[in-house]
Structure 1
Amino acid sequence: MSIPFQLNGRPVSFDGPEDTPLLWVVREHFGLTGSKFGCGIGMCGACTMHVDGAASRTCVLAVGNVRGRAIRTIEGVAAEADNAVRKAWNDLDVPQCGYCQSGMIMTATAMLADTPSPTDQDIDRWMTNLCRCATYVRIRQAIHAAARSLKS
């Protein structure tokens, strides 16, 4: 059965098992490999995409659950020349190895849409993604910089 949804603003559909994780559909069927596989149990956040604007761990989200919904990947964010989070990430040289960064950016972007002036406590509550390189201090600085940029 065909599963229609929006992917980075364009209508798509997937013909396959409804229980296939969205991460694999996006990576393997649509060729968008920016979102990464990390843990496979929804804990690390490397697979984070937006589902109707909400940050979602897609390694545990069945494609059947996104029927008719809007999915945005890191490639969708990268296409936005003026994305404040991506710009802050680059300006503050946040990534070290970079593996987790697409998920971090997706979570931070969703957080700032919901909480435009986050406190450190807000950032701690939202940013549950894991970074093996421990760039958390730079991530926090970049989120605050992006929030300031969005206000001006």
Structure 2
Amino acid sequence: MLDISYYEKTDEIIAQYTCEEKSLIPIIQGIQEEYRYLPPELLTYVAEKLGISEAKAYSVASFYENFSFEAKGKYVIKVCDGTACHVRKSIPILEGLYKELGLGKKKHTTDDQLFTVETVSCLGACGLAPAVMVNDEVHPKMTPEKMSELIKKLREEEE
């Protein structure tokens, strides 16, 4: 169960738009931007506020890969495994992250909610392969060693 502050913030986001179906996507984008994921309770709440069915809201939110129903870490690390990155050894970077952060194919977010690791098919940075994106910043020509240093730096920023 979510704290009342989540609903209050959602009301603020909803107030920026008209209360109609066409506002669903920008509203849920705003919620995800605020919380780094889309809490299912808030999706239900938004559906009620907009007068649409919960099923309709879920079908829209689940259609787009950008929306996540699971909480993500402060730092979302996207490891590209597209062709250019794969042939330039992106998998050892991913495996190094899994080992260092105690994650794997079934567990994507660290217990402290600091890091989430995902694989993506393409970051659109093929000339910089292998590329990794941390939140909105692309890190080119990554290696397992450089990735480990970046994790260390991000952890130090949190202290």
- TM-score normalised to structure 1 length: 0.28
**Structure holding more helix per residue:** 2
Q: Indicate the structure (1 or 2) with the bigger Cα radius of gyration.
A: 2
- TM-score normalised to structure 2 length: 0.27
RCO (CA 8 Å, sep 6+): is it higher in 1 or 2? 1
